[in-house]
Chains A and B, each alone.
Chain A
């Protein structure tokens, strides 16, 4: 074999986090039966993710492409890798006790989680449409299973099925778009596509190219739950186990946005004028649908699902801005959103108790009296979701709308900001119930949060506040990495 066909050590390092996690996931599946206590597998998964964070930081020191341009390690990649690994860590913390209580603490859950994260990590690192597709499918298929993980829960089964059917449909669109793009440009490499488009290599087939782009964007929009492809999200978030819902709203969504940004802003940037109006409309519709539908929800998981649609809308605003500041803003926002939303779902998991019997907003009644600390932390998350200053959510929104104004999207900014004022209503309703209504007197005690949940909620609360008081660190990194390698 010629020497230049063998990937160099540096190239392996660039893919090492995914390699490590894949090996870890496979081993967990294989040797599952050897562990009497499934908790040990949680520990292994946890350790694997920490190691993966270390490897991605190491890979960051030596940036570049790997495996014939399939993988691109740049700041953007590292940012999202670390983000999805961190979300994975928190998900393990939340779900371990949850699964034990639900008597579903098998090893598959953690293996699936790891595989899902491998997929997301690939989505962030791919510079190539086929790789992106593989990453997306790896992540999605694992997620479908996780959504229906509690087999005897009918809502969970429904959620999983819906997620699977609609998700497959959307990925089919994506794949079809990829195929067309390949047919028109002769390549699936993002940088190469960009070159072809810049040189006008697609010739007279602009219309076909537009159709190809549109089909790919349908697939992406589905994954980030942007309108008009958001319908699945409320049912899936409501039906899936609460820790999984938290995971879905943070990890896969961030990774999906990562690939959406990368594809739109590298390969298809030359066609910006064509897709910008589409994204403009989609961003606005996503914000409006998410916020206004959330106003009427009584189930807290469903409420957070619609809220997550609304937040996807804000990130879509950043994408519509199609600029480096927009990309940096979206990166910051997704990190802040991951922190506050995983935190919120951790508390939802805690309050829902075994079998998720308490998932109505009204079940939060009196939390401010019964567990003041939990209530206070949830209040921080909700204030952050509203976008009140000194929380990460505020700075995220601020940067996004600043980028939008930079790009002269004045109406989108104004409508988006007014939307965030509407959003205040439904988040405040949860606060009202927690603090201003007496606890229900059904004699059901709410135990103290388990260690995993306590750690998660404190860690995410600290992160939320830190991002709101000292956003510089994350923001600087995002700003430096927003210049996507082309």
Chain B
């Protein structure tokens, strides 16, 4: 059992133990969950060294048989692509537990149990190398989030939770069909094995097969991302979830979709990915602009941030489907940036909500005079989110735009409009919320950050700056891994097709 297995096992065990803790002692539950998540976080830091020294291969690989027939393996490993996403999840979980410390007063035990189960689910998705296992974790992560939104959310929580579940479920059943189809074709669920088979020309898929399989996977992932126009669950789920739920949703769960695209869709179905890139990029750009425009007119802060996610995730998709080194690097980097900065925005909005119990921008004003530090933090996070140089999002957006530019000027042009719009909606919200007259009710309710809240914000702000100027600490493993993926995708036209006729027989043997 290696470090990675422990990182999965400890929160899973923590989940079970939390369920057994006494209901009457919420303090114990909180401390226990926090301790578990901190231990997992510290352990996950141990992944960095080995992966950075060898980012192109899977480190901490475990490969054991789970079920004999059909052969399903517990095959996990972490490489340059998944490394930071795992650490993002383990970092945000203790943070989410801390932000819920006072806010969650109802059914405390279940809440923290679900947080830990969610952690298991998302890490599991990031490290699974067996498609079946991937699917299992994918679905498992759905359940705790459903409860987090549905039990502890705002007024329309039930509607939002059910919508979230059904959207994801509808996408994932098609993915399941595709996974089974691949199994029937290859006799395996093992992702690296399938890649090898493709590389060796032993797995040949016809154009039609590739197209439909790509689409089945892509649809599942695109719902999760969410890609315009499949995004309609997102504002509801993000808007109605409790703060911790919004943070985990935006920062981690959306990345499951983009991660899946880079991990599965691109290397497994390179030609289909290339053929479909134009309309996908079109939708991505539409999402960037649409998300920004809709965010602009939101009266509710949480929904505003939620729509900004639609816009930001559009950048990620754009970067991925530009099939350029800069574009994909930027996309993966942007996944992390969005996790940090949007997570921080949701947390800060949550702080305001805890104080004033409203999310309407119109109910605020002049918060800066009564809570200067809260305002400062919000301002820094806002600037990071809109892509100010020296802060994290700038790097990602710049790389994505650079990559898009290499493909077509118009892609970059329209995407850049989204960047400009993001400044408009974010700063306008900041202006209406934090500046101007301070109404009496705001003066009465809104106080500045306390120690716990500082402790939550500091690591996030540090990361925003660090990831903005210290790109070298994060980007190399990502780049190394993307090089590999890119090589598969851009391999000159149909190395696979050329080999196909001769090798269909082989693939029959492989069954």
Contact = CB atoms under 8 A, between A and B. Distances in A.
B331 to A, nearest CB: 28
Given A421-B173, A425-B166, A428-B162, A435 B150 contact: yes
Interface of A: 368-369, 372, 383, 386, 388-390, 394, 398, 401-402, 405-406, 410, 413-414, 417-418, 420-421, 424-425, 428-429, 431-432, 435-436, 470-472, 475-476, 479
Interface of B: 23, 67-70, 107, 135-137, 139-140, 142-143, 146-147, 150-151, 157-158, 161-162, 165-166, 169-170, 173-174, 176-177, 180-181, 183-184
Contact of A424 (B23, B70, B140, B165): B165
A432 B161 contact: yes
A389 B174 contact: no
Contacts of B173: 417-418, 420-421
Given A424-B169, A428-B165, A389 B177 contact: no
Contact of A389 (B68, B140, B162, B181): B140
A240 B1 CA distance: 52
Nearest to B138: A389
Contact of A405 (B69, B142, B181): B181
Nearest to B147: A435
Nearest to B173: A417
Tell me the dominant secondary structure on chain B's binding face: helix
Tell me the dominant secondary structure on chain A's binding face: helix
Closest 5 CB pairs of A and B: A417-B173, A389-B136, A421-B170, A421-B169, A389-B139
B183 A472 contact: no
Given A372-B23, A431-B150, A436-B158, 14 more contacts: A388-B139, A388-B142, A389-B140, A402-B70, A402-B183, A402-B184, A406-B184, A417-B176, A421-B169, A425-B166, A429-B162, A436-B157, A472-B68, A475-B69
B184 A475 contact: no
A432 B162 contact: yes
A259 B227 CA distance: 48
22 contacts: A369-B107, A386-B169, A389-B140, A398-B176, A402-B70, A402-B184, A405-B180, A405-B181, A417-B173, A417-B176, A420-B173, A421-B169, A424-B165, A424-B169, A428-B165, A428-B166, A431-B150, A432-B150, A435-B147, A436-B158, A472-B68, A475-B67
Contacts of A414: 174, 177
Contacts of B70: 402
A390 B142 CA distance: 13
A424 B69 contact: no
A70 to B, nearest CB: 33
Contacts of A418: 170, 173-174
B135 A389 contact: yes
Contacts of B68: 472, 476
A142 B161 CA distance: 44
B96 to A, nearest CB: 20
Nearest to A419: B173
B181 A432 contact: no
Given A402-B180, A402-B183, A414-B177, A388 B162 contact: no
Nearest to B137: A389
Contacts of B150: 431-432, 435-436
Contacts of A372: 23
Contact of B67 (A386, A389, A472): A472
Contacts of B67: 470-472, 475
A476 B68 CA distance: 8
A421 B67 CA distance: 25
